[in-house]
Amino acid sequence: MVIAIIGAMAIEIEYFLREIGYKEKIVKNGYSFWLSEYANKQIIIASSGVGKVATAILSTTLVNLFPKLDLIINIGVAGGVKGKTKIGDVVTFAKYAYYDADATHFPQYVHGQIPGYPAYFEGNSEFLNLCKEFTGQIQIGMVLTGDLFFTDQEAIEAVIAKHFPLDNVISLDMESAAFAQSFNHLGFPFASLRVISDIIGGLSDEYEKNLAICSEKACQYLLAILKKM
């Protein structure tokens, strides 16, 4: 089994590289890919950079280099929705959509939908089932992605209430839905596992204070999941 693990930032994959090491490093299109092994699986570790465009470039580079991937997993931290999550919660997603995509001028589209693509992208069902085995430890919901580090609680609550009222939105980030779209288009299974580093609208220094420890926690949980595969 060949699995790629991608963090947006280097700090989000540092724990993996430190814990399991690597045998080879390949550089392509400005990206580094570390080749390793864990739990009888071939592991490829990479950092994409932040945002939707960086995500798409990394995704195409990855599958061109490694066309026989069985699963791609995005790892890292995310912002939490107040009342749904708290700092340190481990989350994964059944649904992925954009909060900043709006083609609703045309009646066939809903908010968050990119023309030519579904209203939302689905997480890999096998990965979700494995997460369910960690009873009460991993929360499953919907993530919204956009090119904005959201800090306005009232603004995001308004977006959710208006456009995603029934979707159990628990988290926001800047990459997950873009990865989901990229790998949906390219025909590869995808999942995201994140840890809540800050609550949207919370204290201004929450993210910086929790980034390192929450990144490590996400990696620790993913290592446990990989053992079950």
198 is catalytic: yes
Would you say residue 151 has pLDDT above 90?
Answer: no
Domain that holds residue 185: 2-228
14 is catalytic: no
Domains contained in the chain, number: 1
Of residues 12, 175, 206, 216, which has the active-site annotation?
12
Instruction: Calculate mean pLDDT across residues 189-201.
Output: 94
Q: Could you tell me if 181 and 114 are in contact, meaning their C-beta atoms sit under 8 angstroms apart?
A: yes
Q: What residues contact 132, with CB distance under 8 A and at least 6 apart?
A: 138, 140
Task: Using pLDDT thresholds of 50, 70 and 90, give the confidence band for residue 72.
Answer: very high
| CATH number reported for the structural domain that contains residue 102 in this entry | 3.40.50.1580
Of residues 175, 198, 206, 216, which has the active-site annotation?
198
Task: Using pLDDT thresholds of 50, 70 and 90, give the confidence band for residue 208.
Answer: confident
d(CA 188, CA 8) in angstroms, rounded, equals 19
pLDDT in tens, 7-65: 999 999 999 999 999 999 999 999 999 999 999 999 999 999 998 999 999 999 999 99
User: How many percent of the chain have pLDDT more than 70?
Assistant: 99
Looking at the DSSP assignment, which residues form a beta bridge with residue 172? 79, 144
Would you say residue 154 has pLDDT above 90?
Answer: no
SS3 at position 158: helix
Q: Could you tell me if 201 and 152 are in contact, meaning their C-beta atoms sit under 8 angstroms apart?
A: yes
Please give the backbone phi and psi of residue 182, each rounded to the nearest 5 degrees, phi first.
-60, -50
